[in-house]
C-alpha cells in the first residue's frame, strides 16, 4: 500500500508537466484574435509614408466637403464653392470660398478652417466624373496647376461643377454653367468616393 502513494505523486507530477508543455484551446483562440486585430489595424499603417499621405488627403477631402455643405446651409443668399486643386505633383490644396455678392467684381473670400489653409502632401492621382444636365459628362483627372470646383445651393445640394477655374477672378465662378444631374464620382489610389446631388459624401462608388 505504501508503494501506491509514490506512484500517485509521480502521476500527478507527470500530468502537471504535460499541461505546461502546450497551449489550451482558449489561449490559441485569444492569440488568433489578437493577430487578426493587428493585421486589420496596425499592419496597413506599415505600408509606407505614401499610403498614409493618401489616406490623410482623402480624409481631408471628405471632411471639407461636409464643412462646405454646412457653410452653404448657413450662408443664405450667398454662393459657396468647394475647390480641390493640385499645387504640385505631391501637394494638394482644399479651399472653401464664399461670394456674398455675385457680380460685384470681387473674387470669392476663402472661409476655410485653419487646418485646410496649407498644402496637403500626397502623390496620389485623383480623377472625377459627373453627368451634366445639358448632356455629356465632365470627366478628367486633376493635373498640376488644375482644380475642380463644386458649387452648393442654399439647401446644401451640389448643383454645379466646373474644372480649372481661375480662383482670383469672380467672373469665372458664376459661369459654373455646368449644372449636374448625377453624383460626382472621385477615384484615387485607394478606390472611389462619392459626392451625391444632395451634398452627402461617402467612401464608396456612387450608387
* Residue 207 in domain: no
Phi, psi dihedrals of residue 4, rounded to the nearest 5°: -70, -40
Q: How many domains does the chain have?
A: 2
Q: 41-65: per-residue pLDDT in tens?
A: 655 555 567 888 999 999 999 999 9
- Please give the Cα distance from 16 to 10 (Å, whole number): 10
Write the CATH number for 183: 3.55.40
pLDDT of residue 76: 79
- Please give the Cα distance from 82 to 184 (Å, whole number): 13
Pull the grid cell for residue 136. 455629356
* Residue 115 in domain: yes
* Residue 164 in domain: yes
pLDDT of residue 10: 59
pLDDT of residue 4: 47
Buried b / exposed e over 76-95, threshold 16 CB at 10 Å, is eebbbbbbbbbeeeeebbbb
pLDDT at 6 over 60: no
Mean pLDDT across 186-196: 96
Indicate the DSSP class of residue 47: G
**164: confidence class by pLDDT, cuts 50, 70, 90:** very high
Task: Give whole-number Cα distances, 90 to 7, 57, 123, 143, in Å.
Answer: 76, 11, 4, 11
- Shared-domain flag, residues 9 and 103: no
The residue segments making up the domain with residue 97 are: 49-202
Mean pLDDT across 187-201: 96
- Please give the Cα distance from 84 to 167 (Å, whole number): 11
Q: 114-136: per-residue pLDDT in tens?
A: 888 899 999 999 999 999 999 99
- Shared-domain flag, residues 61 and 105: yes
- Shared-domain flag, residues 82 and 101: yes
Pull the grid cell for residue 71. 457653410
Strand partners, 161: 150
Mean pLDDT across 89-112: 90
Q: 143-161: per-residue pLDDT in tens?
A: 999 999 999 999 999 999 9
- Shared-domain flag, residues 14 and 109: no
What is the CB neighbour count within 10 angstroms for residue 189? 16
25: enclosing H helix or E strand: helix 25-41
- Please give the Cα distance from 150 to 145 (Å, whole number): 17
Amino acid at each position: 500500500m505504501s508503494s501506491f502513494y509514490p506512484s500517485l505523486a509521480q502521476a500527478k507530477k507527470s500530468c502537471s508537466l504535460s499541461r505546461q508543455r502546450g497551449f489550451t484551446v482558449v489561449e490559441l483562440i485569444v492569440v488568433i484574435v489578437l493577430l487578426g486585430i493587428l493585421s486589420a489595424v496596425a499592419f496597413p499603417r506599415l505600408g509606407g509614408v505614401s499610403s498614409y499621405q493618401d489616406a490623410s488627403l482623402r480624409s481631408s477631402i471628405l471632411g471639407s466637403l461636409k464643412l462646405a455643405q454646412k457653410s452653404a446651409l448657413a450662408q443664405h443668399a450667398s454662393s459657396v464653392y468647394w475647390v480641390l486643386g493640385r499645387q504640385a505633383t505631391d501637394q494638394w490644396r482644399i479651399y472653401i470660398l464664399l461670394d456674398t455678392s455675385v457680380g460685384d467684381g470681387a473674387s470669392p473670400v476663402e472661409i476655410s478652417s485653419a487646418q485646410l489653409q496649407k498644402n496637403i502632401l500626397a502623390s496620389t492621382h485623383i480623377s472625377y466624373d459627373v453627368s451634366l444636365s445639358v448632356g455629356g459628362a465632365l470627366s478628367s483627372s486633376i493635373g498640376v496647376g488644375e482644380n475642380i470646383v463644386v458649387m452648393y445651393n442654399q439647401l446644401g445640394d451640389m448643383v454645379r461643377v466646373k474644372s480649372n477655374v481661375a480662383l482670383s477672378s469672380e467672373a469665372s465662378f458664376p459661369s459654373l454653367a455646368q449644372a449636374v444631374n448625377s453624383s460626382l464620382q472621385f477615384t484615387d489610389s485607394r478606390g472611389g468616393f462619392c459626392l451625391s446631388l444632395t451634398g452627402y459624401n461617402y467612401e464608396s462608388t456612387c450608387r
